[in-house]
Structure 1
């Protein structure tokens, strides 16, 4: 190699080293900005006070928009729920954690799908305290559910006004019944039992809704591999199950057996919207199935609203 080439090589090496150092310096500066590390001579930002869990709850309850974003309900609704749980269902203050903070902890987790470590950091509580308070509020909410998830009119004395336009085909309809799968984490030995037909582990949850999208019954706890009809039979044995009275019935899909009180569509008859709208001369069975599907969809819409509001139903966060 000639002396000129050696000189050019040394110069190139020095330039490359300077370039690398500049890149590293720029990366370090960007990292320092993100981490809040400031170079000498610059005024550091004013530190905000560290809020306790109880203070954070109070901050949310003073701001309607913020309260709804974190708790999926407005402050007046949250406080009304809290008072009802305290007076009727045993929500208590214990070991330095007030009842309003415990409820906020539980609702925040359900609304935004948080894990235990995130609850610990947000509320500045130990994992043991988090575990105990979450279990306590879950039991309280289960008691509350037994009271509020029920038919508005247990006697079903009249049919919903929304069915008037479908008379006389659905005069005896008092709601719709369907199931959904909620993701769940299980041990390896239970994986096969909870594996649903889509290939992931879940609970097969059954629900009944009236025509106003109000849940009148929810039956949870069956493994995802269980057939919908098996889940229904198990729920029908429960004391709280609202059996349809004589002359009334629930709308169900073709996956459920035909029996008194449960009206399914005509089998082997199409009813999809695009097929229905293309044909002018539809049979009575096809028209019935089309309207049956539209009305039964109230359960799917209710499930959609529920999962949109309570993100924990979409996917179970990881817990140790």
Structure 2
């Protein structure tokens, strides 16, 4: 009796073990099959998504990576030909650049991009850094100082020519949101509130950057940033005898002409009241030309949402991203100047090392010289204006 009972127990345990083993083997096979099948789907889904961006119309491409396919493929070609980017076994150049543009175009976190492209966060982070470094190396190629010829936008417009014959562009600063450690936030707090970096840019009238200086704290005055740009090694330079237009915050100085203070300036101020004297007419046309800067800043921030959102990188990366956005902007303007977005719009620097190359007396003399030049332009402009309206 006991022997039968033991036998039945052994048989039951063995049967249970066999059943459990069979179930375990079945689960392992199922997991293996599911894992293998999921891996194949990731590759297919990724490829389908990339193709949907690049080959389903210009607008769809602009919505995702903020440029048309023609500009995208041209950018990939430049980076490849200059040996700045190379395809790897896992990620080709096309996908590397797509990931980077998707992030800066929409300020998307690495985790979100990773799930969209079926990549790990580490992979997204690594290729973002690789592409960012590659783009920055295009600065000298994409952002160039202007030549000494009169811009067509001036030469072909009787309101500006020949009065601004020696003008080669306009300059201004813009504030980009910045994230910095608490101990230095006071220096980066701008007049409008919030922490920002003050970015100086010189721009031609065909909407291209010719110089960009990023990284200054938001509390820095525009004229101080300009002084640094003019005195730093490989900094901002202006062809002899030429000048840039700037707002009143920069003051009138060597090779920089600002508007008259205390005189109507903004275009809306002249909507129902025509200019009444030479200074007002000068300010009106000065403003008409200088709005190019505001238009370019508007295009830049609309194209790259990362510039108008709370950053989630270290500060040096924030500075590098600003420069990369301006480089890509110039690339698009060179390859695809009729881009749809354009059509819709009208390390901390050692500031204590800045030294002036001129004495205060020399600076005052130069200011008087360029103030006189401004007066001459204004008087000539007013004389012709009165003559035509008699």
**Same-fold call, TM cutoff 0.5:** yes
The 5 Å alignment of 1:262-273 reads 262-273=256-267
The alignment partner of 1:255 has SS state of helix
**Deviation of the 1:242 alpha carbon:** 4.5
| Cα contact 2:178–2:311 (8 A) shared by 1 | no
CA contact 1:265–1:292 (8 Å) conserved in 2: yes
Preserved CA contact (<8 Å) 1:115 1:317 = no
Q: TM-score, normalised by structure 2?
A: 0.65
Change beyond 3 A, Cα 1:58–1:275 = closer
Structure 2: where are the runs of 5+ without partners?
Answer: 1-40, 315-390
Q: Deviation at 1:241?
A: 3.8
Instruction: Give the secondary-structure state (helix, strand or coil) at the position aligned to 2:162.
Output: coil
CA deviation profile, 1:71-103 (whole Å, cap 9, x unmatched)? 112223211110111111511234622221111
Alignment RMSD: 2.3
Which structure shows the bigger proportion of residues in helix conformation?
A: 2
Cα 1:94–1:281 change in 2 (3 A) is: closer
Q: 1:85 aligns with which of 72, 79, 85?
A: 79
Aligned to 2:165: 171
Q: Is the 8 A contact 2:199 2:213 kept in 1?
A: yes
The residue number in structure 2 matching 1:62 is 55
Residues of 1 paired with 2:205 and 2:179: CA distance? 33
Q: How many residues align?
A: 271
Q: Give, in whole Å, the separation in 1 of the partners of 2:180 and 2:53.
A: 34
Take 2:234 and 2:163, find their aligned partners in 1: how far apart are those partners?
29
Residue 178 of structure 1 aligns to a residue whose secondary structure is strand
Moved more, 227-236 or 245-254: 227-236
Distance of aligned partners of 1:115 and 1:236 in 2 relative to their CA distance in 1, 3 Å threshold? same
Give the equivalent residue in structure 1 for 2:243. Answer: 249
Distance 1:287 1:281, change over 3 A: closer
Question: CA offset at residue 319 of structure 1?
Answer: 6.0
2:150 pairs with 1:158? yes
Structure 2 CA distance for partners of 1:223 and 1:176, relative to 1, 3 Å: same
Q: Indicate if the aligned counterparts of 2:179 and 2:195 stay in contact, CA closer than 8 A.
A: yes
1:113 aligns with 2:107: yes
Q: Does the 8 A contact of 1:160 with 1:174 survive in 2? A: no
Q: More deviation in 73-82 or 51-60?
A: 51-60
Distance 1:89 1:287 in 2: 51
Give the superposition deviation at 1:304: 0.5
Q: Flag the 1:78–1:275 CA change in 2: closer, same or farther, 3 A.
A: closer
Instruction: Tell me by how many angstroms 1:222 deviates.
Output: 0.9
Select the residue among 279, 301, 308 that pairs with 2:302: 308
Superposed CA deviations along residues 169-190 of structure 1, whole A, max 9, x for unmatched, are 2111110000101112122122
Aligned to 1:8: none
Q: After TM superposition, list the pairs within 5 Å mapping 1:63-212 onto structure 2.
A: 63-64=56-57, 65-94=59-88, 96-151=90-145, 154-163=146-155, 164-165=157-158, 166-212=160-206
TM-score normalized with structure 1 length: 0.78
The 8 Å contact of residues 202 and 224 in structure 1, kept in 2 or not, is answered as yes
Q: Deviations over 1:234-273 (max 9, x none)?
A: 2223455442222210000111132121001112222233
What is aligned with 2:285?
291
Measure the CA separation in 2 of the matches of 1:123 and 1:289.
Answer: 51
Q: Compute the displacement of 1:146 (Å).
A: 2.6
